[in-house]
Amino acid sequence: MDLTALTQKVIKAHDRQVKLSRRLAKVGYDTAVGKFLRLVGYYREGFMLLKAWRDFLYIRKEKIGDTFFAVDQAIMHADHDQVKRLMHVEPQVRGNDLGIIRILAPSYLLNHPLSLGMNGADHTGIRCVFQKALPDPFEQTDLIGRYVDDFLSAATKREQLHIGDDLPRFMVETLHQLVFQLSLSEEEVKASLAYIKGLPLASIPNFISRYLLGFMTGPNIRHREQLIQKYQNSPNWDSYLEIGKQYQLNPNQIANGLFDMIHIAGTAGTSALLGSVIGVLCLNEALRSEVVVEANTVWEDAKTFNGEALKRATMLHSVILETARLYPPVRFVSQLATESGEVTIGSQKCPFQKGTRLLGSIFTANRDALRYDNPDDFQVTRDFSDLLSWNGEGHERVCPGKSLSIELIKIFCLYLFKDYQWDQFTEVKWDFEKVTAVTPNDLALQGFSMSSQRLSDPTQSLAKHPE
């Protein structure tokens, strides 16, 4: 669809949303009629978002303003200040939503809410479990380094590192090792990746998702059930159980929360950002050279491979933050209105009801020209103090895995650009049409092998492998 036709379609759809807000005020937001009307709007706009999510956002931002209706009568905020304020509301009330995606098929999650959908003591408790489960990357630098090196060494046998195929595999395997000290079989890894790719099936009403599409969802649901049981055989399980019990969380709540943490936030989110960082460094030769120099400076050999050296890799740290600003793997934040009210959209005042979803577009907020000069340019010298990726800073919604995410990517890239090499790489392209994680999934590093320096002097390897 050309941009002019899409613009007309997006604006016309928003006019329907304005009319819908007044109808909902009359028939009731959560009545049978209200739910049906919102569901129709959700799917009509969902199809547009699936085809061109970035254009959808920018058309409404340009033609309507920084606040507009979207999907299921949700109120979307698109500028930096409003999204930041939305993140800082406390206490937050969450629905069982994944950004703009509504979880309408609870069976896909074994009838447990996402950790993002928990509230009150349950939410506090699961965050405490996460904080216990997530390792300190500055204390586990050497262990993480061994996982990275083993993975990259295996990729040399294939003579290729593929961003979309290989990085999620690495992440799901590594996180199960770090969180549970559990190894996954090849079949389990494939099943975990299939589960993640199948998440959109959870946005379809439960009867359709579970039964009519059961041939697609059934294997994924069974895999989740099997891993939930496997987690409870982990040597780390008792420590997670002890923390969860303090907040009246039962074993299934804890295991399901950790499953979501690993598969959704960890694997889907962190592998997407890692892929984008690699894409940025492939395209920018000067910046890549600076990263290589920094790697050789802070980590001269295995003896200097530690958390303190990791903290000194400041150039790479800035590259990761700027990549997360331009290509955030999590693009929307969501909560629920705790009371009804009125919102100004364009030149009109529109009613909204208690329970209305309040969405923040992290993608547009991170590119807000009022917050960042030349917001579409890649600049590592920016002030990142108000970066909204990982849900910002200084409030209850900050991602508990932020430090591990950044430092794991840092370790991976230091290995990749210091100890490995490749003959060529395929096109680096970020996909702004499909509403999936923004990352150059089709990028492949071809002729992938160990660097000549590493081969000539194996003692220069960063990690200390056991004999």
We report the CATH number of the domain holding residue 320 as 1.10.630.10
> pLDDT > 90: what percent of the chain?
80
Flag whether pLDDT at 68 surpasses 90: yes
Do 68 and 14 form a contact (C-beta atoms < 8 A)? yes
Q: Is residue 467 part of a domain?
A: no
What are the tens digits of pLDDT across the range 180-233? 999 999 999 999 999 999 998 999 999 999 999 999 999 999 999 999 999 999
Q: What per-residue confidence (pLDDT) applies to 305?
A: 82
Q: What per-residue confidence (pLDDT) applies to 466?
A: 46
385 vs 84, 318, 459, CA distance in Å?
12, 12, 38
Q: What per-residue confidence (pLDDT) applies to 432?
A: 83
Instruction: Count up the domains in the chain and report the number.
Output: 1
**Side-chain-side CA neighbours of residue 346 (13 Å):** 14
Distance CA 321, CA 359 (A): 23
Alpha helices by DSSP H, listed for 89-140, are: 120-133
What are the tens digits of pLDDT across the range 413-454? 999 999 999 999 999 999 887 776 689 999 999 999 998 877
Q: Is residue 189 part of a domain?
A: yes
Q: Is residue 251 part of a domain?
A: yes
Confidence tier at 465 by pLDDT (50, 70, 90): low
For 243, the domain range is: 3-460
What are the tens digits of pLDDT across the range 277-321? 999 999 999 999 999 999 989 887 777 788 998 999 999 999 999
What are the tens digits of pLDDT across the range 246-255? 999 999 999 9
Q: What per-residue confidence (pLDDT) applies to 10?
A: 94
Flag whether pLDDT at 91 surpasses 70: yes
Q: Is residue 465 part of a domain?
A: no
Q: Is residue 242 part of a domain?
A: yes
**Number of neighbours of residue 426 by Cβ within 10 angstroms:** 15
**Number of neighbours of residue 4 by Cβ within 10 angstroms:** 8
